[in-house]
Amino acid sequence: MRWTRLGILTGISLDLTDNVNAQNESETVFLKIEANFREGQIIRSMFQPGEGWQQEEISKNWKCDGPKNPLQPGQSFTFRVAVLQRCFEIYVNDQLYGSFEFVKFPKQINYVRTYGDFEKITQFHHRMLFPLVFPRTLMCPDKVAFQSDVPRRYETGTVVAMECIAKGPPTTEFSICFQCNDTGRTVLRFHVNFDRTTVSRSYQREDNSFALSDEETEGEFPFVRGKLFKIAFGLGDRAFLIAVNGQYFTYYNFPGRPFSISTLKCFTNEVGDFAVRSMEYHSDSPLLARVEKLSII
């Protein structure tokens, strides 16, 4: 997970939990990482319903020479958390920071929740340690506003729901792209142009080009600069189904060739700013009703 621009005096929190919709008393937080800049420390703990917060470890009490909080206000940073047999291993900026033992193996980590004084999250990847695979699609040098990858391809019936906000001048543009694992080509580019008030859908050809003749632009323009929106993409048998803010928006037929997707990337033009506030993966049915429901903000 990559973050940008930390706060100066306050801090951030990262929770691995089983239910973000429950109250604190009924959700299990398998690991909570709190970075406190005022105190210059990182605190790790867990929460069990009926038992409260447990196993608190405060970095300032460590008997070691390493930094108690290696994060610097105003700088981008990465967290990597590996789930092992007996503990979590925590890496900060690709350096091993420490571990946190759990009472029992956390089989139901469904959500990662973040809050605090940071500007935005630009990457969220869910990878397997063995075999160690880093998809070709994630090694693109382009400027990316947000990217995410999961360890297995999207199956038919998968819905990806995102809560986002786009900011900037009237000429702001952003794209949400779904990419093939093997070739890196884009199967769907969902491109929003505020200046023209158009939403175009297209795909990348075998020669990696995008052709105007392939674009589809029919439909309303439900986006407002500076206003939060929620969009859901559902994978049907032959097409993407797309809903925005609880309303069906359109569909987009798959290209004729077979493909496998597990990577999503978001781009902006030079003047725009785009942030993802939340992201969910679902795989129940029926698909259309679920796409509309999951896009309700």
67/92 Cα distance (integer angstroms): 11
Same domain, 107 and 140: no
Half-sphere exposure of 12 (CA within 13 A, CB side): 23
Give pLDDT, residue 89: 86
3-state secondary structure of 207: coil
Report how far residue 83's alpha carbon sits from residue 37's, in angstroms, rounded to the nearest whole number: 26
Residue 221 lies in a domain: yes
Q: What is the pLDDT of residue 61?
A: 64
Q: Do 77 and 205 fall within a single domain?
A: no
**Predicted local distance difference test score (pLDDT) of residue 8:** 42
CA distance linking residue 291 with residue 286, whole number of Å: 9
What the block records as the tokens of 275 is 């942030």
Considering the domain architecture, whether residues 89 and 199 belong to the same structural domain is answered as no
pLDDT at residue 183 in the model: 77
Q: What pLDDT, on the 0 to 100 scale, is given for residue 285?
A: 63
* 49 plus 152 within the same structural domain: no
Question: Domain check: are 121 and 158 in the same one?
Answer: no
CA-wise closest residue to 255 among 288, 211, 290: 211
Residues 76 and 142 in one domain: no
Q: Which two tokens stand for residue 11?
A: 């801090």
Residue 131 located in a structural domain? no
Sign of CA dihedral 77, 151, 287, 222: positive
Q: Which residues of the chain have pLDDT under 70?
A: 1-11, 20-26, 60-68, 128-143, 256-258, 285
Last-in-domain residue among 125, 153, 175: 125
Residue 254 lies in a domain: yes
Q: Could you give the number of structural domains in the chain? A: 2
| Inter-residue contact 127 to 149 (CB < 8 Å) | yes
H-type helices in 22-85, by residue range? none
Q: In which region does residue 209 sit, left (phi positive, over 0), alpha (psi from -120 to 50) or beta (all else)?
A: beta
What pLDDT sits at residue 252? 93
Do 110 and 172 belong to one domain?
no
pLDDT at 14: 80
Residue 191 lies in a domain: yes
pLDDT value of position 7: 44
pLDDT value for 258: 60
Read off the amino acid at residue 280: E
pLDDT at 201 (0 to 100): 95
**Residue 152 has what pLDDT?**
75
Same domain, 155 and 112: no
Are 16 and 74 in a shared domain? yes
Runs of H (alpha helix) within the chain: 287-294
Domain CATH number, residue 96: 2.60.120.200
Domain with 266, as residue range(s), is 136-294
pLDDT digits (tens, 9 = 90+) for 17-59: 877 665 556 688 888 888 887 777 888 888 888 888 888 887 7
